[in-house]
Chain A
């Protein structure tokens, strides 16, 4: 018999809203993220997710791209606007280690020196199914934080 707060937490965790931040990505991972939303084949709405247009509405943040020097300030500013509790998912290898751009002077990878990342989805770009798997893992982590 679950307590009331556990029931509410279970109900609330069935509606994670996703927000994408492109931190200088080549857009490969962004295209794969978009296919999980728009293509009927990989419907992320089954998990209750919804891509929202405002960072204030977000629960799960998908970050793509190595943190290029040009965009770093803006990404950190937008990231600060996202209310807690939130879960950050690094999509692709660029945010995790810099990927193929790791030796560039304009890149501030790995991203977890600036932003606390919770889930990694390696791949260049990862399959949409792999991104959905990462989002499902993020939902589990988010449920603990609610």
Chain B
């Protein structure tokens, strides 16, 4: 009983739920502010994503006549709920270990595919041709970046398992505990190709320029999100904020979960999230133009896939 109520608390309040939502929105606010400063503009206030969400909650959702209404309205709900669950699955070093009843790394991998699928489904359910274009582009991009993700996770899991005695360890708590005992994988040369592959993967997952192809504002009029308004659009924003926390948290847990316990550990986690967000997302977003879908596809097949495969092969045979 206690584990279930712990799990519920983890999903709804900390570290999932409201905490992760607030964290995700604060990260997005910091990202927009820094991007503006890098462009010599003043930029919106740090709490701007919160205002956006409040405003979206007050408008009404218009459903197009040709849209498939249950799918149209259900898709963002499923996406937001999946990311809520995923946020409770990511361990925070020194502060939070997820309950085993919630699931392990494989569940997290599956949950991480849901937002992309939800975006695709929303695009096709809205019935507009721009949504259909967004659907096909998101599908191509997802195929491109899921491969490296799985291989990176497998490489890290195999490394932990090899260190612990020969099996493959798919429990994130075990991976974190192993790194706290034996040193972070950030400093392990065997896993450096996997680290590079992960650094290339997460801007694509978060939908950041140069990889924000499915949601391109100027090209496909926001693609799958074109027909959404009001609270449904707000749920999509919630989903993307939570996804940022989950993916960045996963990266930290896989490569550098060394932190003191307690409040300092929480502060360290926030600091690491901020560094990953500002350096990986903002600087990239401000300096690059958007890639074409075939360029992005080719890039992912060429570099992150081979790097993560290299890491996996070295870990498997060394």
Residues in chain A within 8 A of chain B (CB atoms): 8-9, 11-16, 40, 43, 45-46, 48, 50, 52-54, 56-57, 59, 81, 83-85, 146
A8 touches B58 (CB 8 A): yes
B interface residue count range (under 10 / 10 to 19 / 20 to 34 / 35 or more): 20 to 34
Main secondary structure of the interface of A (DSSP, over half): loop
Using A43-B36, A53-B218, A54-B226 as known contacts, say yes or no to A15 and B48 having CB atoms under 8 A apart. yes
Distance between Cα atoms of A9 and B44 in the complex (Å): 18
Contacts of B58 in A (CB 8 A): 8-9, 12, 146
Please tell me which one of the listed residues B43, B221, B225 contacts residue A45 in the complex, with CB atoms under 8 A apart. B43
Distance between Cα atoms of A81 and B60 in the complex (Å): 12
A84 touches B60 (CB 8 A): yes
B41 touches A40 (CB 8 A): yes
B222 touches A57 (CB 8 A): yes
* Contact indicator per residue, chain B 22-59, by CB within 8 Å of chain A (1) or not (0): 00000000001000100111111100101110110111
Distance between Cα atoms of A11 and B50 in the complex (Å): 8
Can you give 14 contacting A-B residue pairs, CB < 8 Å?
A12-B51, A15-B54, A45-B41, A48-B48, A52-B217, A53-B222, A54-B225, A54-B226, A56-B229, A57-B225, A81-B62, A83-B62, A83-B229, A146-B58
Given A43-B42, A56-B226, 20 more pairs with CB closer than 8 A: A8-B58, A9-B58, A11-B50, A11-B54, A12-B51, A13-B55, A14-B48, A15-B48, A40-B39, A40-B40, A45-B36, A53-B218, A53-B222, A54-B221, A57-B233, A81-B62, A83-B60, A83-B229, A83-B230, A85-B59
B228 contacts chain A at the CB level, 8 A cutoff: yes
B138 contacts chain A at the CB level, 8 A cutoff: no
Distance between Cα atoms of A9 and B55 in the complex (Å): 8
Please tell me which one of the listed residues A8, A43, A46, A83 contacts residue B59 in the complex, with CB atoms under 8 A apart. A83
The residue in chain A whose Cβ has the minimal distance to the Cβ of B32 is: A45
B54 touches A12 (CB 8 A): yes
B42 touches A46 (CB 8 A): yes
Contacts of B42 in A (CB 8 A): 43, 45-46
